[in-house]
Structure 1
């Protein structure tokens, strides 16, 4: 399974509610850069799971209109919620993209890659690609890519 964690791009600081915060003009550019990078690397059958927050929906819509809004990965979700929604380690599909929030995505990355309870910093618009594989009868999580929008 390929699990791709995509943090929403830069969003406005205030709105009528946290879920209503929209991308800034800079955030739209970050999202477009991330979408371009992903489009060149993912299969057409990837399953895309998105938090119900406006900023995550606006981020993913730069990539596709084929996604599922998943309440369980809203802001303040747990790493277990995200992994459960994605079906880690077997996956609900060979490639699952989760468009979500910090610190949750950082918790997922640290848990899988380092077996740590920490939360790693994932920049706004950042993409972390983690692959599950069996080696010697054990399951491993391998970091395939970690990229910030300013490097694309």
Structure 2
């Protein structure tokens, strides 16, 4: 199974009038999301299931991928207060037969990375707009191996 974690792109700062859930992407964030969507669309299998936090900034990030023809599902369990277990349950890890892309938030994305890579007490710093791709394969008849397949940043995408 492949679990791809994409942190939302750069968003507006929260302020008195703007609560966390309603923050939109900045113009820089829109460019970041567009670059990563381009890379993801060229890399993701067609069967990839895409699950998105209901926060505006994650939906804006997902919309960049939707312009490539990819469909996504808003998943309330992936909101800003989600836990590692919420994410793994939503993704059906490790049982899903198809790859799953989660578009979400820190700190839980970094916590999921730590959990899956064997460091459950470590929060990995998943930066804005970055993608962390985690894979699992059969090592031998009984053991599954989980490994970090790739980390991608919008700065590395050439369009």
Hey, which bits of structure 1, 4+ residues long, moved more than 6 A? none
Task: Give the CA deviation at 1:105.
Answer: 0.2
Choose which of 34, 49, 52 in structure 1 pairs with 2:51. 49
- TM-score with structure 2 setting the length: 0.90
Per the alignment, residue 109 of structure 1 pairs with 113
- TM-score with structure 1 setting the length: 0.94
Unaligned runs of 5+ in 2: none
Aligned pair 1:121/2:125, yes or no?
A: yes
State the Cα RMSD in Å: 1.2
Cα distance in 1 for residues equivalent to 2:24 and 2:40: 22
Choose which of 76, 100, 103 in structure 1 pairs with 2:104. 100
Unaligned runs of 5+ in 1: none
State the Cα deviation string for residues 38-62 of structure 1 (Å, max 9, x = none).
Answer: 0111122211000000000000110
Per the alignment, residue 153 of structure 2 pairs with 148
Cα distance in 2 for residues equivalent to 1:76 and 1:149: 26
